[in-house]
Structure 1
Amino acid sequence: MTLTTYAMVAQVRFRELWTRLALAAFIGVTAWVISPSIWPAVWLGGVLATQTVDWLVFRRFRENPRWVPDRAYVALSCLVTFLGVAVYSGIAVYLWITGGEIGRLFAIVQVAGGLLHVSLHMHHARPILISAVATHGAYFLSLPIMTAVIIGEWQEALIAIGCLLYMSHLVVAVRQSSTITGALRAANAEAQEARHKAEVANAAKSDFLAVISHEIRTPMNAVISAANLLRRTRLDDQQSEHVTMLTDAGDVLMGLLNDVLDVSKIEAGKMELEVTDMDVRARLTALRRLWEPRASANDVNLVVRIAPAVPDAVRTDPLRFQQILFNLISNAVKFTASGEIVVSVDWVDGQMVVAVTDSGVGIPADRLGNVFNSFEQADAGTTRRYGGTGLGLAISRKLARLMGGDLTATSVVGQGSTFTLSLPMAMAVAVVEGETSGPADVSALQGRSILAADDHEVNRRILKLLLEPHGCNLTLVENGQEALEAAAGQRFDAILLDMQMPVMDGLEAARRLRAGGQNRTTPVIALTANALDTHRAAWDQVGVHAFLTKPIDPILLASTLAEACADDGASVEAAVA
């Protein structure tokens, strides 16, 4: 017998205490009406006393559900149950003897109801169940038998036979209920265990992806940065072609890595949307400008048609909106050898509806439903012929549904396909995207003192090669502790910190820099291969100027540093003033 069975009985009895007392009051009043005397009141007092003792004895199970009782306490619990039932159903004897036909009928119903009640609610703990059922059963069978013996009318014994049949059926019902309850409990335990394993597996998957992301980004930083540095040198046509091959392959690999991370975030429910105002026409123009040269190279005309009803500005997540359309147009360009790609934009009942129609190879009807599944394409030869992993459309549909909309597809083999994106959006005031001060002037980096901490020698060399041509004075260190020591002796215009480093990581170094010293207000820029949202959030908590990921984008790095240095200079001038 397990501990939890006693705890379950104790909890049920506690929850139904007031119901039992209210029912006892009703039975007592009924007994007094049927056969007026002082005994119903005496009986009611006995019920209150035994229920109080029951509450005290079973309280220990409620307060400590995992407590395993010894034999003595089990015996005490059974005794208390026996006495409580004996008193509670004792009114049946009074009614059977003094209440006439009505009293006898009420008495037998009262005992039968008690039997049903304890059978359903006490079957978890067999010793308690036996103690209760034995008492009720004694009343149930002995009353009609006693009458048959005393008055000599043996037909009364038929009532006892009926009671015995009732009890046998009740035993069968209780066994079935106990079996079902046990099966449900086992199934629930298995479900909980499966859920726990799934959570552990999901956590392991997230950790694995975080590690893989970091480990891939670190060497890719060297590959892509080396290619970008080569591009800056004097190259002949063949060498330039080789560098282009390197950068294109690097872009494909990084795109694949980002797609896998996006799928993982969406499935884990960790994808967060950032809703802001978006200039619709500017965003679509930027996409057309990006893909038009690639489409033209395939002798394909790329057309964007925007209906007059489409508002100038809407509130949505511009990055995810652009990501979906980027995937759709990318697919259209990939699978269209000639003809036309039309991006039609309309506004219908508060929803932006974007249809990307191509005149490409089309998708067979039996495969159309699978194109939105992760890692699936129209046929096995698609990957060999056109490349890709089959993640783009899967991510796009998941993002669309996460944003409250949907992505659907229709296609005819040999004639082309249409992918229709529907997203609910709110209209916003007109905005002009890019109407800012523009990219920072990288000439502002001339003569600036930059501190950079990275434990990989190759990464430090890349930073030196990327930044020294801009006139920066670089101080390179290998970990956060060395960065603190360098910052203690010199004020820097900006500080670059990697995240994972030996001795002291970048987050701890940033916290200590902010705690005090001459560089407490110096802009800190995270430059790391840890690119997940959790990593970004961790850097946000320590207060960084920007969060940049590897592989390093040379232009973005230079402009971010220039902006940080300009901001720092302005803040210093304001402090002096």
Structure 2
Amino acid sequence: MIAIIVSNGLNNPGSYLWMVAISIYLLFSRPNILSSHLIIINSSLLITLLILHRFEVLNFQYTPVGSLALEYLGIKAPVMFASYIPITLFIVYLHDKNKKSIIALEDKNKEQNKLLSLLNHEIRNPLNGLINILPIIEQHKNEPHLQDKYLQIAYTNGKVLKETLEQSLQLQKIDSNNFTVKNSTLELRSWLAEHLTSYSSQITNKKIELTSTFSPDFPQYICTDQRALNVIVNNLLSNAIKFTHHGCVSVSLSHQDNNMVIKIKDTGIGIAQEQQKSIFLPFTQLDEGEGKQYEGAGLGLALLQKCVDVLHGSIALKSELNVGSEFTVTIPVEFKHEIIKPKKKLKINNLIDLTDVVVVIIDDHKVNLEILKLQLKFSNANIKAFNEPIMACEFCKSHHVDIIISDISMPQMDGITLLKKLSANNLPPVRIAVTGNTQTEQRQKYLVAGYQDIITKPYDLDVLYTCINTLYQRHLQQA
């Protein structure tokens, strides 16, 4: 490049053509760091010279090398170099910024590949158990005691599968800033007792002790985001119980100024010093590799950390290998001392009687449709099941329908279009959407379209029954 400039001169248009040709050659023939730096220098010089020409510092006329050197030792030389330096720096900045973006993208791809690899294992395991236990249940249909045992295995595997998917989706939701804090008031003592009860069978099987204490002056009520608090306490408790084989797990709650302090201590296997900094990273497990002893996708503590951050709190860890661990979570909350009568939540095990009530259910997935039909069987409702939303739409137009329960994502016609096709005269008074989409903006879209409530797949039976009971009774009161 220097040889070309010296031999041809800066005012020779051929010099510029040669410089462009060199850049193109370096770009396509030698894609490495050295060539990229040469391209930057070459391009910077080329742009500088074109700018100088634009402002008539250079004229495209051939000048011998000797007179050119004398000319540019004068006033024009400082102008040239003063222009060249900032342009070079700017292009170097753009190059480095682009390089950092590529590295960040590569890191993200590595993280996603790790996620897929781990989820592949953590989803296939319970899925394998679920699929293979079903034929065994069929083989032992005349042995009720064995059927109960195998059904429990199927339920446990299904629950593990659901929890793994939910954790990965919650993590993605917080990462993409789709999680909105929604504070509510709860009576903490009864809330904690409810959570501890859910671990009673694990505690009994492992023969360890689970205790809880509150500081004497701890207020009766707190106001915080219950969903995030559930994630924090459940993940700490489940991990403490999982890694404790003898001794006890203790939960203590206290308060400092406007902060609630949750301490969960165990006498488990402990965490090595070198692992303590990485356990809150996604997909990190204490015993990674082929011979790992403990199940899990390594999402729990990462999700916990995200929830603590969302609540503007902090988390600290003290742990000693083969002695135990103590996690301390501090989160700002609003304390309330006055007695507030909490709304009674009824656990609904049965659907209300829906005799003579016409219920249209729609799902393009035949298995899901059949399961939903069975779930509604004992309500005595007149159930009309459709795999094809177009046929369901025609039925609603020509028949009286009281309740419609529809999937959203369907090939022929989605659930939103379905409601749009129905006029006010044939729109069922109770409209429920069943979807696997958990994004807030999408759920809002379904409500705007006309659905009165949304059930997220996979759902518990109580959630379905509560939704139908509430909406249909409200309809009867308004009729």
TM range (shorter): 0.7 to 0.9
How far apart, in 1, do the equivalents of 2:290 and 2:216 lie? 38
Bigger shift: residues 422-431 or 390-399: 422-431
Cα deviation, residue 125, structure 1: 6.2
Match of residue 344, structure 2, among 432, 435, 455: 435
* 1:296-315 Cα shifts (integer Å, max 9, x gaps): 32111111111133322222
User: 1:393-408 to 2 correspondence within 5 Å?
Assistant: 393-408=301-316
Per-residue CA distance 1:399-453 (angstroms, 9 max, x = gap):
1111111222111112110111111112246444442576486233344321101
- Aligned-pair identity (%): 23
Distance 2:396 2:131 in 1: 30
Q: Distance in 2 between the 1:254 and 1:533 partners?
A: 20
2:458 is equivalent to residue 559 of structure 1: no
Shift of 1:497: 0.2
How far apart are the structure 1 equivalents of 2:352 and 2:181? 35
Query: How many angstroms apart in 1 are the aligned matches of 2:54 and 2:160?
Result: 74
What letter matches 1:406 in structure 2?
S
Query: In the alignment, is residue 415 of structure 1 matched against residue 323 of structure 2?
Result: yes
User: In structure 2, which of residues 345, 353, 356 is the aligned counterpart of residue 444 of structure 1?
Assistant: 353
Q: Residues 483 and 223 from structure 1, CA distance in 2 versus in 1: closer, same or farther, beyond 3 angstroms?
A: farther
Q: Structure 2 counterpart of 1:555, which letter?
A: D
Question: Could you tell me which residue of structure 2 aligns to residue 481 of structure 1?
Answer: 390
1:2-41 residue pairs with structure 2 within 5 A? none
Q: Is the 8 A contact 1:453 1:497 kept in 2?
A: yes
CA distance in 2, matches of 1:383, 1:450: 51
CA distance in 2, matches of 1:384, 1:250: 22
Return closer, same or farther for 1:333/1:482 CA change in 2, 3 Å cut-off. same
The CA deviation string for residues 174-213 of structure 1, in whole angstroms up to 9 with x for no partner, is 3333322332244456667888x79x989x99xx9xxx9x
Match 1:242 to one of 150, 160, 169: 150
Task: Flag the 1:188–1:417 CA change in 2: closer, same or farther, 3 A.
Answer: closer
Other structure's SS at 1:442 match:
coil
Distance 1:193 1:364 in 2: 34
Aligned to 2:175: 267
Equivalence for 2:65: none
Q: Does 1:466 align with 2:375?
A: yes
Does the C-alpha gap of structure 1 residues 365 and 334 become closer, same or farther in structure 2, counting only changes over 3 Å? same
Counterpart residue number, 2:197: 289
Do the aligned residues in 2 keep the contact of 1:352 with 1:424 (CA within 8 Å)? yes
Using the size of structure 2 for normalisation, the TM-score is: 0.75
* C-alpha displacement of 1:247: 0.5
Question: Aligned residue for 1:63?
Answer: none
Which residue does the alignment assign to 1:182?
91
> Are residue 497 (structure 1) and residue 406 (structure 2) matched?
yes
TM superposition score normalised by structure 1: 0.63
Moved more, 533-542 or 412-421: 533-542
Cα distance, 1:256 vs. partner? 0.8
Distance 2:387 2:90 in 1: 62
Give the Cα–Cα distance (whole angstroms) in 1 for the partners of residues 444 and 291 of structure 2: 36
Q: Give the CA deviation at 1:317.
A: 0.9
Q: Relative to structure 1, is the Cα distance of residues 284 and 368 closer, same or farther in structure 2, using a 3 angstrom cutoff?
A: same
For 1:483, give the aligned amino acid: A
Q: Give the counterpart of 2:224 among 287, 309, 316.
A: 316
The letter of the residue matching 1:265 is K
SS across alignment from 2:237? helix
Alpha-carbon spacing, 1:440–1:563, altered in 2? closer, same or farther (3 Å): farther
In 2, the alpha carbon distance for the partners of 1:235 and 1:273 equals: 49
Q: Tell me how far apart the structure 2 counterparts of residues 334 and 558 of structure 1 sit (CA, whole Å).
A: 33
Q: Secondary structure at the match of 2:202?
A: helix
* Counterpart-to-counterpart distance in 2, 1:334 and 1:127: 69
CA gap 1:383/1:303 in 2 versus in 1, 3 angstroms:
farther
The equivalent residue for 1:375 is 283
* Residues 1:524 and 2:447 are matched in the alignment: no
Q: How does 1:306-345 map to 2 (within 5 A)?
A: 306-345=214-253
Unaligned runs of 5+ in 1: 1-122, 136-160, 573-577
Q: Is the CA contact 2:363–2:388 (under 8 Å) kept in the aligned structure 1? A: yes
Mapped to 1, the partners of 2:102 and 2:244 lie a distance apart of 49
Match of 2:30 in 1: none
Whether the aligned pair in 2 keeps the contact of 1:282 and 1:433 (CA below 8 Å) is no
* Match 1:540 to one of 436, 443, 447: 447
Query: Are the equivalent residues in 1 in contact too, given 2:235–2:301 (CA < 8 A)?
Result: yes
User: Which residue is equivalent to 1:453?
Assistant: 362
1:568 & 1:440 partners in 2: Cα distance?
21
Q: CA deviation at 1:526?
A: 1.2
1:370 and 1:193 mapped to 2: Cα distance?
A: 24
**Equivalent-residue separation in structure 2 for 1:168 and 1:528 (angstroms):** 70
Shift of the 465–357 alpha-carbon distance from structure 1 to 2, 3 Å rule, reads same
Contact preservation (8 Å) 2:360, 2:384: yes
Residue 172 in structure 1 maps to residue 81 in structure 2:
yes
Summarize the Cα distance change of 1:177–1:235 in structure 2 as closer, same or farther, 3 Å threshold. same
Residue identity in the other structure for 1:556 = V
Match of 2:64 in 1: none
2-structure distance, mates of 1:486, 1:235: 43
Deviations 1:24-77, CA, capped at 9 Å, x for gaps: xxxxxxxxxxxxxxxxxxxxxxxxxxxxxxxxxxxxxxxxxxxxxxxxxxxxxx
CA shift for structure 1 position 501 = 1.6
